[in-house]
Amino acid sequence: KRNERERKKLDEMKREWVAGISHDLKTPLTYITGYSAMLLSDQHTWSDEEKHTFMRNIHEKGIHMQELIQDLSLSLQMNDAHLPLQIEETDMVEFIRRLVADVGNDPRARDFPIRFHCAVEHHPFFFDAKLLQRALHNLMMNAIIHNPPGTPIHVLLRFQEGVELIIADYGVGMDEETLEHLFQKYFRGTSTDQPDDGTGLGMAIARGFILAHGGDIQVTSQSGKGTTVRVILPRNPI
Ligand code: ADP
């Protein structure tokens, strides 16, 4: 009975999700076609500033679509337990520093400084850089999207047995329902104030990739106060 109910709920979420994703892809496309049509129109001469605004909008919407499509294909690849890893030795500090810079360059991060703290300059570690990049990028983007403008988010990297990475924001936080379903595929929380911005896959993908390394992810959050995500990775990934 319980399984049946769960299955129905998942089916319903999937249906809602397909409807949502079609809408999510259509919205940025409408902007892209609209702004490019305006740029190409010979009915009107646009100032350089106007042109720049249109092009920036096209670029931002394009990036958003890219992320949606990447998440979609990653979630199809991600067959939870048996994800093939390509483990290589990489400098973890450098890797996170580059990721922070990368996230900081996203137009959505313009008003959200990211403070990176790490006591050491270098620390070699074994992991699948591509998968971890994707997982941690999702976590950092979530922190940024839910943070109040002007407030920094904090990224803290520590080495003990393995790796401990903490990402803290001071934003809307999550209610109990969101916390409970956070890692479910297709789930989009009630704390999301920009409903067009997500796929409901980011956290599921992040968790899948971290677990595939033999690691763990823990989230603590308080409505209205913010969210702290803690990622643990073992020294020797399985
Ligand atoms: P989405 O694509 O909707 O962001 P995710 O799987 O990344 O999907 O996240 C699921 C939900 O969890 C989000 O819709 C949002 O409500 C909530 N969430 C994730 N990260 C945060 C955060 N840092 N602060 C508040 N809510 C968050």
Per residue in 141-178, pLDDT tens? 999 989 998 899 999 999 988 999 999 999 999 999 89
Index of the ligand 1 atom closest to the CA of residue 229 = 23
More confident residue, 97 or 8: 97
Closest CA to 178 of 230, 223, 228: 223
| pLDDT given for residue 194 in this prediction | 55
- Is it the case that residue 35 has pLDDT exceeding 90? yes
Mutate to test the pocket of ligand 1, among 186, 203, 207 (most ligand atoms within 8 A of CB): 203
In short, whether 71's Cβ falls inside 6 Å of ligand 1 is: no
**Total Cβ atoms within 10 A of residue 193:** 10
State the Cα angle at 229 between 198 and 62, rounded to 5°. Answer: 25
Question: How remote is the CA of residue 230 from the centroid of ligand 1, in Å?
Answer: 15
| pLDDT given for residue 51 in this prediction | 94
In short, whether 171's Cβ falls inside 6 Å of ligand 1 is: yes
- Write down the mean pLDDT value for the chain: 87
Q: Whose CA is nearest to atom 12 of ligand 1?
A: 189
Question: How remote is the CA of residue 158 from the centroid of ligand 1, in Å?
Answer: 24
Give the Cα separation of 212 and 146 in Å (integer). 27
Percent of the chain whose predicted confidence (pLDDT) is above 90 = 55
| pLDDT given for residue 171 in this prediction | 92
In short, whether 228's Cβ falls inside 6 Å of ligand 1 is: no
Index of the ligand 1 atom closest to the CA of residue 198 = 2
Index of the ligand 1 atom closest to the CA of residue 201 = 6
pLDDT digits (tens, 9 = 90+) for 62-83: 988 888 888 777 777 665 556 7
pLDDT digits (tens, 9 = 90+) for 220-238: 999 999 999 999 999 877 6
The amino acid present at 8, given as its one-letter code, is K
| pLDDT given for residue 4 in this prediction | 85
| pLDDT given for residue 64 in this prediction | 83
Q: Calculate the CA 187 to chain-centre distance.
A: 14
Cα end-to-end distance, the chain, whole Å = 36
Please tell me whether residue 160 adopts helix, strand or coil conformation: coil
Give the Cα separation of 74 and 199 in Å (integer). 12
pLDDT band at 120 (very low <50, low <70, confident <90, very high): very high
| pLDDT given for residue 84 in this prediction | 76
DSSP state of 195: G
Please tell me whether residue 90 adopts helix, strand or coil conformation: strand
Closest CA to 125 of 86, 155, 87, 84: 87
Give the Cα separation of 162 and 158 in Å (integer). 8
In short, whether 172's Cβ falls inside 6 Å of ligand 1 is: yes
Question: How remote is the CA of residue 188 from the centroid of ligand 1, in Å?
Answer: 6
Please tell me whether residue 162 adopts helix, strand or coil conformation: coil
Q: What is the mean pLDDT of residues 89-93?
A: 96
Percent of the chain whose predicted confidence (pLDDT) is above 70 = 92
In short, whether 205's Cβ falls inside 6 Å of ligand 1 is: no
Give the Cα separation of 203 and 123 in Å (integer). 26
